[in-house]
Amino acid sequence: MTLQNLEHYQWKNRPFLIFAPSETNSAYGVQARRLDAERDGARDREMVLFEIVAHAESRAAGEPLEAVTVDAIRKRFGVGEDKFAVILVGKDGTQKRRWSIPVEMEEVFALIDSMPMRHEEMAE
């Protein structure tokens, strides 16, 4: 994939970024399981998963990301390779919320459902 950056999803999807120091990081595992259990809710809210994992393959929507893209995303959000973080980005491309520990998907969904753009989507 050439450049699967956040702008590719702007106005179409809500990027959900999980940053982890490794694939074996316990917080990463917890967050991945929580998201996996709520796939339908995430799909309904047009979320797209970015897995930014140090020393492993990082992915966007299951597709590999180039190292330059991973570096740009880390720099944009100020998340070092040794840190765990979860960031929700809105369809407008701005950061909506950041968590430093795994978050319950119900909390993420409630935040999304409170957004004006989501209200418009639900009304359609």
Q: Distances in Å between the alpha carbon of 64 and those of 12, 28, 39, 70?
A: 20, 18, 20, 10
For residue 22, give its domain range.
6-123
In a domain, 1, yes or no: no
pLDDT of residue 62: 93
In a domain, 44, yes or no: yes
pLDDT (tens, 9 = 90+) of the chain, 124 residues, equals 334 678 889 999 999 999 999 999 999 999 999 999 999 999 999 999 999 999 999 999 999 999 999 999 999 999 999 999 999 999 999 999 999 999 999 999 999 999 877 767 777 7
In a domain, 113, yes or no: yes
pTM as predicted? 0.92
The domain tally of the chain equals 1
In a domain, 55, yes or no: yes
In a domain, 49, yes or no: yes
Q: Distances in Å between the alpha carbon of 4 and those of 10, 72, 111?
A: 12, 11, 25
Close Cβ partners of 35 (under 8 Å, ≥ 6 residues apart): 16, 18, 42, 49, 105
Indicate which CATH number applies to the domain containing 77: 3.40.30.10
In a domain, 78, yes or no: yes
What are the residues facing 86 on neighbouring strands? 18, 99
pLDDT of residue 97: 98
